[in-house]
Structure 1
Amino acid sequence: MGEQPIYSTRAHVFQIDPNTKKNWVPTSKHAVTVSYFYDSTRNVYRIISLDGSKAIINSTITPNMSFTKTSQKFGQWADSRANTVYGLGFSSENHLAKFAEKFAEFKEAARLAKEKSQEKMELTSTPSQESAAGDIQSPLTPESINGTDDERVTPEATPNSEPRAEPSQNALPFSHR
């Protein structure tokens, strides 16, 4: 399915002056569409804005970003990957509030997605040194991580501690669950 827009608004877009790091430089001459996009294949949220065919914002939302309202109609966030600070000027406090609300929502979703992908990585990575080599079975399944009741060995019933009699012809063949 790829990347889909999930929320759009209009704003004047600015970037912090890379030389002074103090002054705002307008990157659009007029209000442009600023959209949140969600990429379901990569589980990533981005803020994208185009001025004509030129991308003036392409910012991936990460869990450590924060959106700050600096006035009634202006907000900003820093994007370390793009090495810039973006600023948005809105036509109303309402538009700014809605954008900030969505930023917080998608930032939290990005945090959860990151946690989930880290858990997946931990499950598929090689076992740590703490576990004995014989304890881990492959492929990793919930049963092989925790062991089933049958696999948990109690001291008084160790496997193969007594020779087992061959089944008679009338008995059902022994099968291990």
Structure 2
Amino acid sequence: MGEQPIYSTRAHVFQIDPNTKKNWVPTSKHAVTVSYFYDSTRNVYRIISLDGTKAIINSTISPNMTFTKTSQKFGQWADSRANTVYGLGFSSERHLAKFADKFAECKEAARLAKEKSLEKMGLANSPSQESVPGDIQSPMTPESINGTGDELGVPDLTPNSESQSEPSPNTQTFTHRPVFQTCRICSA
């Protein structure tokens, strides 16, 4: 599905002066559209704004970001990935409040997505961390091996092997030491 807009407003866009870190530098001559986008494939929220064809904001919202209202019609946030601080000047307090509310929603969703991702990684990695050298453990899921779960079979890559039939859906090939071994995982 890709990235979809979820909220848009208009605002004057500024960035903090990279030299002084004190003064605001306008990045648009007039109010421009500032939009929140959600990428369902990557589970990521971004704030994007264009001035003509030039991207003046391309900020991925992370759980540690904070949007701060600094006056009745102005708010800002720091983006460490872009190494800048963005500022937005709105036409009314209501527009600023709505933008701030949407920022909080996206930040919370990003936090939950990160937690969920870490939980999945923790569950997938925990059996292998406890394994004894020489053991092959089978609690791995097809998703943790192939990444998607769409393809369950991995071809046997044994060197000098004669032609082999396609592996069954329950066959997984694991590299263990320098020798390739095949391990069967039940599909229950």
TM over 0.5, yes or no? yes
Give the corresponding residue for 1:70.
Answer: 70
Counterpart check, 1:139 vs 2:127:
no
- The one-character-per-residue Cα deviations of 1:147-169 (angstroms, maximum 9, x if unpaired) are xxxxxxxxxxxxxxxxxxxxxxx
Equivalent residues of 1:36, 1:45 under 8 A apart: yes
Partner amino acid, structure 2, of 1:50: L
Q: Percent identity?
A: 85
* SS in structure 2 at match of 1:6: strand
| C-alpha RMSD of matched pairs (Å) | 2.1
Q: 1:126, CA displacement in angstroms?
A: 5.3
Q: 1:50, CA displacement in angstroms?
A: 0.1
Counterpart check, 1:42 vs 2:52:
no
Q: 1:139, CA displacement in angstroms?
A: 3.1
Partner amino acid, structure 1, of 2:102: K
Give the corresponding residue for 2:19.
Answer: 19
Counterpart check, 1:59 vs 2:59:
yes
Give the corresponding residue for 1:119.
Answer: 119
Q: 1:124, CA displacement in angstroms?
A: 2.1
TM-score if structure 2 supplies the norm length?
Answer: 0.70
Task: Give every structure 1 segment of 4 or more consecutive aligned residues whose post-TM-superposition deviation is greater than 3 Å.
Answer: 128-137
Greater C-alpha radius of gyration: 1
Partner amino acid, structure 2, of 1:68: T
- Please give the alpha-carbon distance, in whole angstroms, between the structure 1 residues aligned to 2:6 and 2:122: 31
- Please give the alpha-carbon distance, in whole angstroms, between the structure 1 residues aligned to 2:92 and 2:137: 58
* SS in structure 2 at match of 1:127: helix
Q: 1:138, CA displacement in angstroms?
A: 2.7
Q: 1:135, CA displacement in angstroms?
A: 10
Q: 1:131, CA displacement in angstroms?
A: 6.3
Partner amino acid, structure 2, of 1:137: S
How many residue pairs get aligned? The number is: 142
Equivalent residues of 2:128, 2:137 under 8 A apart: no
Partner amino acid, structure 2, of 1:28: S
- The one-character-per-residue Cα deviations of 1:36-80 (angstroms, maximum 9, x if unpaired) are 000000000000000000000000000000000000000000000
Q: Which runs of 5+ in 1 are unaligned?
A: 142-176
Partner amino acid, structure 2, of 1:5: P
Counterpart check, 1:79 vs 2:79:
yes
Partner amino acid, structure 2, of 1:25: V
Give the corresponding residue for 2:91.
Answer: 91
* SS in structure 1 at match of 2:14: strand
Equivalent residues of 1:123, 1:140 under 8 A apart: no
- Please give the alpha-carbon distance, in whole angstroms, between the structure 2 residues aligned to 1:69 and 1:128: 46
Larger RCO (alpha carbons 8 Å, 6+ apart)? 1
Equivalent residues of 1:13, 1:88 under 8 A apart: yes
TM-score if structure 1 supplies the norm length?
Answer: 0.75
